[in-house]
Amino acid sequence: MTVRKNQASLTTDEKRRFVAAVLELKRSGRYDEFVTTHNAFIVGDTDNGERTGHRSPSFLPWHRRFLLDFERALRSVDASVALPYWDWSTDRSAGASLWAPDFLGGTGRSRDGRVMDGPFAASTGDWPITVRVDGRTYLRRALGGGVRELPTRGEVESVLTIPTYDMAPWNSASDGFRNHLEGWRGANLHNRVHVWVGGQMATGVSPNDPVFWLHHAYVDKLWAEWQRRHPDSGYVPAAGTPDVVDLGETMKPWNDTRPADLLDHTVHYTFDTD
Amino acid sequence: MPELSRRRALTTTVALAATAGVRTVVPAQASADPHHSPGTFDEVYKGRRIQGRPVGGHHHGTGYTVLVDGVELHVMRNADGTWISVVSHYAPVPTPRAAARTAVDELQGAELLPFSAN
């Protein structure tokens, strides 16, 4: 069984194996297919039209499946690897071990945002940014540049207390847990973390930065924590909602999996805290 | 407009902007009202020409096109009337012009790739 661990508690060997597996997916071309898929959904998902990956109830199950696909790809390279998660409410500074040269590398230099250390720095030659929206081919970050503070544990708690999963109009204007976690309303958790990292993470091609997976693995964990606190609240809407993925409807791009199939993460993996 | 004179016109605009700062040709209507259609704008911001205009039948139903130095910047309107672009997708701003300016800030001089190539 796959166990997803807090990135802060990974051993040196676990970090090395994770990085090596990611680099191998990049080298083989499989990594960039994930970036392409994410960008296609982020520009295609609209508040008043069809919406699947973002700004909709299926934001959480869509990313759960997307991460499962990525994790399976990693494990096809090295079966010992699982996705770690980044609890940004605890490891909330650019000095966290997450950003050390033996893991993801640090922030970008001020002149052009270029990441200068770590295994994903452009100078290694191992991490070309090929799926991109502008001419720059190097990984960029500006940790804490776009917004000063990552969400606090208190802000996370305030979102976890929201009892309703999601609400009409099922988009970025919704009240409810999903949209507060996604960040279009309220304290702003998920969106703010993308902005705090900066660089490609602030764009539609955000999976170009490997921290994308660790961020979303924690967002996914917060969904699991919410379920545990609200056992009587389930995914909504149940049926018959135009442009929105109902509980029993299949999701693009897979067309073989429904939110109902993804509610219980323990079928696929557990967390170190489970 | 022939390419040469267009380039010269752009160069002139950039030169003017360099001395006069940001120079708005047609002001955009700054409104985040979701039912209000923003107007057009055309200005040089930090040395780059940004333009915006309503269009009919555009992809994703945005109904609005933003250009940076003539290259389309993918933008999207949120339900509350705020805007985002593909280079700043998680941080809504009040108007399409603000999204264009944010994009210029983010690009740090880099060329935008055409949306169709993304």
Closest CA to A244 of A166, A159, A163, A160: A166
User: If 0-12 CB within 10 Å is exposed, 13-18 middle and 19+ buried, where does residue A213 land?
Assistant: buried
Can you list the residues of chain A whose pLDDT is less than 70?
Answer: none
- Tell me which of B90, B102, B108 to substitute to probe the interface with A (most A C-beta atoms closer than 10 Å): B90
Sign of CA dihedral A64, A132, B104, B85: negative
Between residues B33 and B69, the one the model is more confident about:
B69
Closest CA to A273 of A93, A95, A100, A84: A84
Q: Is A148 on the interface with B (CB under 8 A)?
A: no
Query: b/e per residue, A40-72, with b = 16+ CB within 10 A?
Result: ebbbbbbbeeebbbbbbbbbbbbbbbbbbebbe
Out of B62, B78, B86, the one facing A133 most closely (by C-beta) is: B86
> How many CB contacts within 8 angstroms connect chain A with chain B?
84
User: Which tokens sit at A49?
Assistant: 């039209």
| Contacts with A42 from chain B: Cβ below 8 Å | 86, 89
Q: Tell me how far apart the alpha carbons of residues A40 and A153 are, in angstroms, rounded to a whole number.
A: 32
Percentage helix, strand, coil for chain A under 3-state DSSP, each rounded to 5: 40, 5, 55
Between residues B29 and A198, the one the model is more confident about:
A198
Write out pLDDT tens, residues B59-107.
555 689 999 999 999 999 999 999 999 999 999 999 999 999 999 999 9
User: Which tokens sit at A192?
Assistant: 């703010």
Q: Tell me how far apart the alpha carbons of residues A61 and A254 are, in angstroms, rounded to a whole number.
A: 12
Write out pLDDT tens, residues A180-193.
999 999 999 999 99
Task: Report the run of H or E that residue A271 belongs to, with start and end.
Answer: strand A269-271
Amino acid in position B60: H
DSSP A269: E
* Average pLDDT of span B30-39: 62
pTM for the whole thing? 0.91
Looking at CA atoms only, how far is residue A167 from chain B in angstroms? 14
pLDDT at B4 over 90: no
| Contact yes or no for B92 and A135 at CB 8 A | no
State the pLDDT confidence band at B114, using cuts at 50, 70 and 90: confident
| Contacts with B78 from chain A: Cβ below 8 Å | 47, 55, 172-173, 184
Backbone angles phi, psi at B26, to 5 degrees: -125, 120
Task: Report the run of H or E that residue A21 belongs to, with start and end.
Answer: helix A12-28
- The residues near B96 (Cβ < 8 Å, ≥ 6 apart) are B28, B38, B41, B52, B64, B66, B75, B83
Between residues B118 and A249, the one the model is more confident about:
A249
- The residues near A2 (Cβ < 8 Å, ≥ 6 apart) are A71, A75, A82, A268, A269, A270
Out of A47, A133, A191, the one facing B118 most closely (by C-beta) is: A133
Q: Is A43 on the interface with B (CB under 8 A)?
A: yes
The confidence score (pLDDT) of residue B26 equals: 40
pLDDT at B14 over 60: no
The confidence score (pLDDT) of residue B61 equals: 56
| Contact yes or no for B110 and A135 at CB 8 A | yes
Strand order in the sheet with B83-85: B75-77, B83-85, B88-93
Closest CA to B74 of B115, B113, B105: B115
The confidence score (pLDDT) of residue A125 equals: 98
Between residues B116 and A184, the one the model is more confident about:
A184
- Tell me which of A43, A150, A188, A208 to substitute to probe the interface with B (most B C-beta atoms closer than 10 Å): A43
User: If 0-12 CB within 10 Å is exposed, 13-18 middle and 19+ buried, where does residue A163 land?
Assistant: exposed
In sequence order, what are the beta bridge partners of A244? A51
The confidence score (pLDDT) of residue B38 equals: 87
